[in-house]
Structure 1
Amino acid sequence: MDSVLARALIEDPTEDGRLPLFLLFLAFLATFLITRTITRLIRAGKGPFRDRVAGGVHIHHAIPGIVLTIAGAFTSVAVDGSSPGAEIAAVLIGIGASLVLDEFALLLRLQDVYWEREGQLSVQVVSLTIAGLGLMAIGIDPLSDHTLSVGHLVIAINLPFHVAGVLMCVAKGKYSTASVGAFIPPVAWIGAIRLARPHSAWAKRHYSSEKRERAADRAHRFDDRYGRWGLNIEDLVAGKPTASPAVSGQEPSDPKGAA
């Protein structure tokens, strides 16, 4: 496995047709970083950027993202893998998909939770996507590699458990754990099997009052020791959320996301 990864890192991505995928990965990552920088400048009232409003309607960046993703998909089919159309399509899809997934939580809830704690779900989804694209960009594609090795098989078997672990961490309100677990699978697995955060959707649906008390006690002890560190890392990436709950009339979500 180590030799496969080392060889992939030094190979030229243009030699085996991986250039479009490599460009898609770079476009996706760069767009996410630029988008988060711009939105945080808008929120702080700094720089030349402002929210896009047309006819009193706030145009979220997921809208141009959908347009670019569709345009890239159509272009990809039309050029049938030929250059430079394939590379152009890859960049369009990378930019568009990044814009859409950056507002994943907003689209899921149909509410503007971008700067709420619930809105940081978008960062977990983007992190998982970057991890997957990064593996494929350096040539680790266990689903289509004809020279399948033991290392590739391990990745193929691990992938469903990896995704399930990250999603379980999100359901249990462990957002920081999900972010780290997107890149380090064992972190997600451990977070998935441990007690949920007391105010998470998982705890509300599946825990008895006694188990929620246990979860609350454990979360309190964990946060006293590690919570601020994990929260600072997450806020550094996603931006510090507002103090008010995302949905009026509902119990505020747990302000921490590790454990």
Structure 2
Amino acid sequence: MLADFHIDFAVPPGRLPLVFCLVAFILTFFVTRTIVRYIRSHPEGEAGAAPRKWWQPRNIGTGSGLHIHHVVIGVVLVMISGVTMVTLAVDGGVPEFTVTAIFFGIGAALVLDEFALILHLEDVYWAEDGRTSVDAVFAAVAVAGLLILGFSPLSFFDIDIWRAEHTLLARAGVVAAAVLTLILAVVVLLKGKVWTGLVGMFVTPLLVVGAIRLSRPHAPWARWRYTNRPRKMHRALERERWLRRPVVQAKLWLQDAIAGMPKFPDDAKVDEQLDREIRAAPAPRDRSAVAKPEVEPEKEPA
């Protein structure tokens, strides 16, 4: 008797996204573990160690010394992909999809309310650093609101042209415009203008304005470009104080309103808060300098 064992490994089209999700999950896990092991076996700052090349893995951090763990990147990617799937794939006429979207919204709110804990890896819920959670929630609400109003990210990326035109020139033009938009967004974010970069992804002219105007004084752009240009750094500091003053006044008024009786803050309290928030970026470290042990000069014989 002959037995015919025929196994069909074809994946149904409806499950392809799940397959790609699983493959990406496994590959990312192994790549992340490899990078972390490399960083741990090659610690930075050791005496006599050569500076890291641009392509060598290293820890991600800020100029203030805050170490950004890869869980932060993961949370941001999960939120972006979740909102994208809810926006593009969910049919409002299917109750199951709508219920799933509701649960995603609940989970996203709970995660972002503790975003400062994830970022700092310590309980800063009621501390000054805990405001990062509020900023993250405001950013999520702003993005969702823009999507509801019909705005789409990467507005230069015309999906209709991409679908209608199959010529290489037309598609290359669409891709080039989208890449230009992303470059402008990166420049704006490097200048410390988070809200301009966020909204500018939906309203592209804002990215052009943000890329042309002065950087915020504490941003990486100011650290790289304004450190040796004191006049420009001074202009950035003065402009920051002028623009931030009404924001700080509103924030202090809101804090008083939540804590007790609302009252307009006096100028001394506003200036004190501005002095804490507004600062010039530190000068970048000289990567060409390699830490070497000091060698005492040879003494001449007596």
TM (norm. structure 2) is 0.37
Q: Which has the higher helix share?
A: 1
Determine which structure has more spread, i.e. the larger CA radius of gyration. Answer: 2
User: Which fold has the larger relative contact order, with Cα–Cα distance below 8 Å and residues 6 or more apart in sequence?
Assistant: 1
